[in-house]
Structures are given as C-alpha cells and as structure tokens.
Structure 1
Amino acid sequence: MDDRSTLLLASQEVDAEMPMAELIAALEDAFVAYAREDAQMPPKSYIDLPQYNGDFRSMPAYLDATDWDAAGIKWVNVHPDNPDDHDLPTVMGTVIYSDPETAYPLAIMDGTVLTKKRTGAAAGVATDHLAVEDARSLGIIGAGEQAHTQLEAISQVRDIEEVVVSDVDPEAVQAFIDEYDEEFTVREGTVSEAGHCDVLSTVTPVESPIVSLEDVGERTHINAMGADAEGKHELADELLLDAKLVIDNYEQCTHSGEINVPWSEGVLDDADLYGEIGAVAAGETAGRTDEDGITVFDSTGLAIQDVAAAHVVYEHAQEHDIGTEFDLLGV
C-alpha cells in the first residue's frame, strides 16, 4: 500500500479481516492500556435528533498498547425507524483510523460490523477473566445479530458445548439454532434455563428487567450487553446487588449501562462496584476467585475497543492486500 493513500474497507472486508481470537487479544490490550492510563478516551458525545427519532454519537480514542499504538474515531447512529421506514439498519457506523504520529487518515472503514464483533470480543475478554474455568454451557437472551458474536467470542475462551437461547421471537430462535446446531448442541429455552448456564449473555433492548436472581445459577457469569442508553435495564436489582459487579467504564456505565437505572434511583452506589475490566485484565484486581458466586460484566462499549478493532482490521487488510486505495488528501 502507498504510504500516502487511504484504504477504504467495506463491511464484508472488515468482517473478513477481523479474526475473533486476535480481536479478543487486541481488546484486552486496549482495556489494559486504559487501566494503566496509556490511553485517551474523551466522553462519548451525542447529537439528539428527536424529529427523526434518532441520534448520532461520536467516539474518539487513542491508545498506546505494549507493541502498538493507534488512534481513531467512530461516528455512529441509532435510528430505530430505519428498518421499517427506509430499509436501512437501525445502527450504522463509520470509523476513521489514523496514524498517531502524523494524523494521516490510514483507513475509512465500515463500523457497523466492527461494532458487532468488538462487542462480542469484549464479552470474550470478560468471560475469560470472570467465568469458571470449566464453563461448558452458554445461555443467550436475545437471538438478534449480537447473539451470534457472543457465541463466536465466548467459544474462543471457553470450551462451550451447549447453547440455550431465549427470545420472544421463535423465528429468530430457530434461525439461530439452524446456523449453529452442527457445531454446538443448541436448543431453545426459557430465561431461567439460559440463566442457569455457566455463562449468560443478555443482548436485549428492554427497559424493564427480565432476569431475576432466581433465574441464574449460583456461579453463573453474566455479560450484560444490551443496555447502551439511559433507561435500559435487563437484570433485576436484587441480582446486581448479589453479584460481583465489573464495569467497562464508570462514567458510561452509571449514565447508560446496565446499572444506570438502579444507580439513578440510589439502589446501587460505589460500594457495590467491584472494579473495571481493565484493572482485572491488567492483573491489578483479581478476576474470578474460588469464593465468587455470580459475576456480572456491565458493558457499554468503549471507543478504545473500536480503535483496537480497527487496528486489527487495518493490519490484516494490508497483509492480505484487501480494500480500495484512494488519495483522500492529494498530498
């Protein structure tokens, strides 16, 4: 690739150049860099567009990992009316990936599939540190697109054999089963049956809790992935209070993560938080111990994850001569 060209990467190319095992490793590097203050991540900014029932979000970051550094920004939207009104996805993202030394735009890539896969990879990092070592079963509540990357990532860090999927849409459940039943033992189940697996991932947009304390096993690890805005809330307060609670970022989780509702109501406070996943990944805080029961990872999605994922994509695209080069700046 010409050093003065910018690489354009479409969604299929981003998907092909983002192997999950390497993505999980890169996200762990990013979490560690952030915990050690070797990263910069300004707060996510929002542009609300109530007239279109949507919003834009900008997510910039720089991180200096052990063997590499990277910078970039993701520009992403949430427009719930898109599928019905415009035949477009609810969420679309674009990532600009830049050379930290010169600020030259190295790549412009689709951020939609990148977001899906890096979200799964974040659950992979958390599961590796917080789930029991011999975890063999995975429950998934919500059979949408994010369910697929949850299974893809978590099966990288644990030898998953059985998958129980629960959703209000039986067609979505059947489609999920059909896709994976040759690789895993996959079946439909209730919320409680999914919750009594060794690992549980919740990937729904609900605003009223659907998982109670009684719905999960005594040593289940839960990846709470669905809450990404104020008011969203998948896990009952009693469950959160009983669990060892690990978050990805204090500001984002208290504002728009799984804990945001009980936090705003005074049910949870600082004393209920065990720590951030970066400190766990860095070894500064212990992950799962023999004394632990239920563990919960509250994931809101961080800009450092997007930049780490873009780094993986860009390096692989260069290696495999993938993408379209163009002269963006004409220099």
Structure 2
Amino acid sequence: MQKTLLLKQSDIKNFIKMKEVIDVVETAFKAFALRDVQMPAKEYLFFSDGDLRIMPCYVQSKEEAGVKCVSVHPQNPLKQKLPAVMAIIELIDPQTGYPLAVMDGTLITDMRTGAAAGVATKYLAKSDSKVLGIIGAGKQARTQLMALNEVMDIQKARVFCRTCSTRTKFAETASKTYSLDVEAVETPEIAVKNADVVVTTTPSRKPFIKADWISPGTHINAMGADAPTKQELEPELLLKSKIIIDSWAQASHSGEINTPVARKILKRKDIHAKLGDVIVGNATGREGDEITIFDSTGLAVQDVVTAGMIYRQAREKGFGTEFNFLK
C-alpha cells in the first residue's frame, strides 16, 4: 500500500533552494491568473494571542492539491521560545484523496514568501535597482534578502528594526553570508530613503512608512500586513502609488490595503492589477518612475506548488519517513 511521506524541517533544509522556489512561485501566480486554481480565501480563527489560518488549494493542470494550517503568535519568541509562525502542509492525491505527504510548512512559508517578493521585484522594480531598504530583521527579513539577492544586483542594503542588537546582528550575518554591504541603521527613514527597492516585514498595526520618504521609481514589497488591521504604509503613500496585489479577496480583508479599504480611503478601482496578471501580460507593470507597491498576503497556491516540488525532490533523493495512517 502507498504510504504517506513525513518531512521534517531538517529534511527540507537539505535540498530546498531559493532560486527554485522563486521559479515555482512564479508558476503559481501564473496559474492563479489563468484560473487554473481552486483556492478559497484563507480562513482565520482568532485567539487571545494569535490566530490560525486554513489555506486549501487545487492546481488543476498540475494535479496538485493540499492544505496548509499556519498559526501566527507574535509573542512566541519572547514568551514561549517558539517561532512566531508555525505551519504544517498536507499534500493529497486529487484522484483518491490519499495523503501523499505531511510536511513542515514553517520553512516553506518563509521561503515562498521571500520568493513572492522576488517575483514581484523581477516584474515591478527598475531593472537597474541596486539599493535595498529592509524594515524588520526577523526570519522573514532573511528570506526576503535571500530572494531579492537572486533577482537584483544589490550594491547596498540598509536594515532597520526597533532592537539595535537584532538589526546589528542581521547586518553582520547578511554581509558575511552574501558578501554584500549591509548596514544596520537607526531609523526606518534612513533605511528607505533613496532606496530602489524597499521590503517591509513587521507585524505593525500603525502605518509608519511615510509617503515623503519614498523616492519616485521605488518598488515596495509590503509583506508584513497579513491579518485584519495590520498596516505598515501611510495611506498617502498608497494613494500616490501603483498598487499590485496577489488577491483582492485576501488583500482587502487582511493585506496592506485592508484598513484603507475598510475606511473607504481606497477602493477597488484604485488597485492597478494582480501580480499574476502582470506576469501573464494581462496588465502593465512598471511604466516609468512611478512608485510601485506589491501587497502580499500569501496564497495557498504558493504553498501547494512549493510543497509539490519538495515532495518530488524528497522522493527522488530519499529524504523523509514513510508512514501508514490507515494501518
């Protein structure tokens, strides 16, 4: 009888590569744009200190299906010595419903989120972008830098987070890992001023990136807002920019635009396009020196296609443990 493959994070770390994740996440955005995907908007359960999100998806042409359960508890690192984000992904055979794999989704979430910004930057940033501003210095900031280093010729990166020691350590580690000039700076304004690409990765519920800090031609990956009331960018900045989202259903509910939409500052007509439509040529991307913003909420299709790639590679390379749930 066929058995389910169990994959720990340590198994996946042995062979996952950011370049491959970027490539497969780009196919995910294409599939969504071409309506090749069944994917309800993510559902939330809210707790006192966090939430649980359920994210199912079926990619019809690839015959890949699965669901991710992901929890977000921002206080975990300080209070429980646990990651703020933890996830499990189950892949199933669409023909039979049999569970093909159950795998750690925490690393996959980090990697595919970084990869999404990589894809957006590839299509929306100026081709000669060299200066990167990073807001936040946690796990997601690390995979953002990993992905952006694949699609940009980074000459200079500046990083800010509220804790001096954290941003300093991030800068030192990143400089050594990627042989880049990464500087820890004392304010978010210094981090983003005159940057070609900006990435925000905080759980903020108060907008703090101001419109007058951002230069014409800048591309922003707004990655931090992924639940209702979260917001990192001033509404004035959104109003003067070309906004590209991953999904209206999710972005309007829990993305960077969610609060301005709820307050009727932004309307659907103010959104330029979905990233997938830019990729397949159904919408324009960058057209000059406009400010572009990618509002990323994270799509289940990104998880399923990444998990599918990992499952195939694990089978080929002999990683993981087989288990029979039906025995």
Q: So what's the TM-score if we normalise by structure 2?
A: 0.95
**In 2, Cα distance between the equivalents of 1:61 and 1:217?**
38
Q: Which residue in the other structure is 1:111 paired with?
A: 105
1:243 is aligned with what amino acid?
A: S
Deviation at 1:206, TM superposition (A): 0.9
Judge conservation of contact 1:94–1:111 (CA < 8 Å) in 2: yes
**In 2, Cα distance between the equivalents of 1:292 and 1:85?**
44
**In 1, Cα distance between the equivalents of 2:101 and 2:242?**
39
Q: Which residue in the other structure is 2:290 paired with?
A: 293
Distance 1:184 1:168, change over 3 A: same
**In 2, Cα distance between the equivalents of 1:191 and 1:79?**
24
**In 2, Cα distance between the equivalents of 1:16 and 1:85?**
30
Which of 42, 51, 54 aligns to 2:50? It is 54
Which of 134, 137, 144 aligns to 1:140? It is 134
Describe how 1:171-320 pairs up with structure 2 within 5 A: 171-182=165-176, 183-189=179-185, 190-195=187-192, 196-289=194-287, 291-320=288-317
Distance 1:186 1:80, change over 3 A: closer
1:70 is aligned with what amino acid?
A: E
Paired-residue identity, %: 45
Which of 76, 93, 96 aligns to 1:82? It is 76
**In 2, Cα distance between the equivalents of 1:323 and 1:260?**
39
User: More deviation in 74-83 or 218-227?
Assistant: 74-83
User: More deviation in 309-318 or 250-259?
Assistant: 309-318
Where structure 2 has 5 or more consecutive residues not aligned to the other structure, the ranges are none
Q: Which residue in the other structure is 2:87 paired with?
A: 93
**In 2, Cα distance between the equivalents of 1:311 and 1:89?**
24
**In 2, Cα distance between the equivalents of 1:216 and 1:325?**
51
User: What is the aligned-residue RMSD (CA, Å)?
Assistant: 1.5
1:60 is aligned with what amino acid?
A: P
Write out the 4+ residue segments of structure 1 that deviate beyond 6 Å after TM superposition. none
- Please state whether the residue corresponding to 2:71 is helix, strand or coil: strand
**In 1, Cα distance between the equivalents of 2:63 and 2:91?**
11
Deviation at 1:322, TM superposition (A): 0.9
Deviation at 1:81, TM superposition (A): 4.0
CA-to-aligned-CA distance 1:116-165 (integer Å, 9 cap, x gap): 11100000110000000011121101111111000111111111121110
**In 1, Cα distance between the equivalents of 2:26 and 2:302?**
9
**In 2, Cα distance between the equivalents of 1:288 and 1:16?**
37
Where structure 1 has 5 or more consecutive residues not aligned to the other structure, the ranges are none
Q: So what's the TM-score if we normalise by structure 1?
A: 0.94
Judge conservation of contact 1:18–1:309 (CA < 8 Å) in 2: no
**In 2, Cα distance between the equivalents of 1:85 and 1:238?**
36
**In 1, Cα distance between the equivalents of 2:30 and 2:83?**
32
Judge conservation of contact 2:216–2:289 (CA < 8 Å) in 1: no
**In 2, Cα distance between the equivalents of 1:263 and 1:6?**
43
1:209 is aligned with what amino acid?
A: P
- Please state whether the residue corresponding to 2:85 is helix, strand or coil: coil
Deviation at 1:77, TM superposition (A): 1.3
Q: Which residue in the other structure is 2:116 paired with?
A: 122
Deviation at 1:324, TM superposition (A): 1.1
**In 2, Cα distance between the equivalents of 1:213 and 1:54?**
30
**In 2, Cα distance between the equivalents of 1:84 and 1:164?**
25
1:299 is aligned with what amino acid?
A: S
1:323 aligns with 2:317: no
Judge conservation of contact 1:11–1:110 (CA < 8 Å) in 2: yes
Deviation at 1:89, TM superposition (A): 2.1
**In 2, Cα distance between the equivalents of 1:239 and 1:100?**
43
Judge conservation of contact 1:219–1:292 (CA < 8 Å) in 2: yes
Deviation at 1:64, TM superposition (A): 3.4
